[in-house]
Amino acid sequence: MPKQFWKGSALLAPVPAALVTCGTADSPNVLTIGWTGITCTRPPMTYISVRPERYSHDIIMKSGEFAINLTTSEMCRETDLCGVKSGKDTDKFALCGFHAVPAHEIAVPIIEECPVSLECRVTEHKLLGSHTMFLAEIVGIDADERFINEKGRLDLAKCGLMAYAHGEYFELGKRLGSFGFSVRKKKKKRPVRK
């Protein structure tokens, strides 16, 4: 089937619709970020890309810390609001009814209502045209105990996580498989003893 060719653009999707917190417990701020992902597993590294004119940009630049808070479909309206309102003149925590709680490894608070929060410490930053990329080590993870199963694993399928794709928000759907399932050997059935 033929494909149309378009000029290069930021069309990688879906991406997380994440709420990034910055600032302090006394003066927290939150902004919506779609440009984020994992860059390395050892050490665990991530990045966020923020426009220099955003209020949060200078806060993160000065503190060298931020937290990536994963969002749920129930938080869709608030997540969008945090992307269109500025923390310069709006207390987005109060506006959205979010509760800022202390992180364990960084001074930046995390959002209590989010099922998972990644505590991040900036290792370097680089201006890449329209955005500054903040590369950071993930120094801690805060996971809501309601989503930890009996084996001690985080059950992300129960979180109702939200994604962003080309200007629209989506609730993540059903699990289709797990890493390596396509090549995993099937377990042999044990014969029934009589």
Go through the domains of the chain in sequence order and give each one's CATH number.
Answer: 15-171 (2.30.110.10)
Query: For the chain, what percent of residues have pLDDT higher than 90?
Result: 79
pTM over 0.85, yes/no: yes
Give the span between the Cα atoms of 125 and 167, in whole angstroms: 26
Distances (CA, A) of 69 to 45, 111, 172: 15, 7, 16
Hey, which residues does 138 pair with through a beta bridge? 120
Distance CA 102, CA 96 (A): 18
Distance CA 82, CA 27 (A): 16
The residue type found at 29 is N
Reported as a single tens digit per residue, the pLDDT across 59-75 is 999 999 999 999 999 99
Strands 65-69 and 131-143, sheet pairing: unpaired
How would you write the pLDDT of the chain (194 residues) with one tens digit per residue? Answer: 899 989 998 888 899 999 999 999 999 999 999 999 999 999 999 999 999 999 999 999 999 999 999 999 999 999 999 999 999 999 999 999 999 999 999 999 999 999 999 999 999 999 999 999 999 999 999 999 999 999 999 998 889 999 999 899 999 888 788 888 888 887 777 766 76
Helix then strand then coil, in percent of the chain rounded to 5, is 15, 35, 45
- What phi-psi label fits residue 97: left (phi over 0), alpha (psi between -120 and 50 degrees) or beta? left
Q: Could you tell me the two tokens for 125?
A: 């930053």
How far apart, in Å, are the Cα atoms of 119 and each of 16, 85, 127? 16, 23, 22
DSSP label at 122? E
Query: Taking Cα atoms as reference points, which of 77, 82, 51 lies closest to residue 169?
Result: 77
**Residues 21, 108 contacting (CB under 8 angstroms):** yes
46 with 133: CB under 8 angstroms?
no
Is there a contact between 83 and 118 (Cβ–Cβ < 8 Å)?
no
d(CA 162, CA 193): 48
Question: Would you give the DSSP letter of residue 72?
Answer: B
